[in-house]
Amino acid sequence: MIASVPLILFPFCLIAAALNDALHFKIPNALSVVLIGSFGIAAIIVEMPMSDLLVHVATAFIVLAVGFGLFLIKELTGHLILGAGDTKLLTAVALWFGWPGFLTTLITITLVGGLLSVTMVALHFIARSLPSLTVRYRPIAALASTHIRKIMCPYGIAITIGTLLCFDASPLLNDLIAQVL
Q: Is the pLDDT of residue 129 over 80?
A: no
Q: Are 43 and 101 in contact (CB under 8 A)?
A: no
Q: Residue 128 and residue 134: Cα distance in Å, rounded?
A: 8
The mean predicted confidence, pLDDT, of the chain is 87
Mean pLDDT of 15-44: 94
Per-residue pLDDT at 141 exceeds 70: no
- The model's pLDDT over 142-161, given as tens digits with 9 standing for 90+, comes to 555 555 556 678 899 999 99
**Residues in CB range of 115: below 8 A, 6 or more apart:** 158
Contact 25, 15 (CB under 8 A): no
52-96 pLDDT, tens digit per residue, is 999 999 999 999 999 999 888 877 887 777 888 999 999 999 999
* pLDDT for residue 73: 86
Contact 159, 93 (CB under 8 A): yes
pTM of the predicted structure, to 2 decimals: 0.88
The answer to whether 159 and 86 are in contact (CB under 8 A) is: yes
CA distances from 137 to 27, 29, 133, 163 (A): 23, 29, 6, 30
CA dihedral sign, ordered 32, 33, 34, 38: positive
| pLDDT greater than 70 at residue 12 | yes
